[in-house]
Amino acid sequence: MNRYILCQHCGGRINSADNLVTAFVIFSVVPYHRRCYSHALQGCQAVVVSNRPVNSVMGTAGAALGLALAIAIFLGISPFQGGMRLALGAAVMAAPIARIYSYLAYERHLDPD
């Protein structure tokens, strides 16, 4: 089930999940080598590359928290009403959607080594 995952920065092949870092760039999730991700943060791409990788422990925790918060908002456990509640719930869902997409598009296709 392996598929070629190419680094957004250098164009090289990413061979293992340990070497993969996915980042939220503008409105998409893109793969990087660990080394290339740090270079992207130091270069001119730092304006558009998120400082927190999507597939990190903190990225996963943020996605779980965002999902719990979105469920609470959609169930009506928030002080907001109507369209504001829907807009806030949709905005909070960005982190969980990005994390799920990162797993489905990139991580599951790589060896865990």
- What tens digit of pLDDT does each residue of 21-75 get? 998 888 889 999 999 988 888 777 666 777 789 999 999 999 999 999 888 888 8
- What tens digit of pLDDT does each residue of 7-29 get? 999 999 998 889 999 988 888 89
Predicted pLDDT at 46:
65
Query: Which residue in 59, 13, 57 sits closest to 36, CA to CA?
Result: 13
Task: Kindly tell me if the per-residue pLDDT of 1 is higher than 60.
Answer: no
Predicted pLDDT at 61:
94
SS (H, E, C) 47-85: HCECCCCCCCHHHHHHHHHHHHHHHHHHCCCCCCCHHHH
- Is the distance from CB of 33 to CB of 21 less than 8 angstroms? yes
Does residue 89 sit in helix, strand or coil?
A: helix
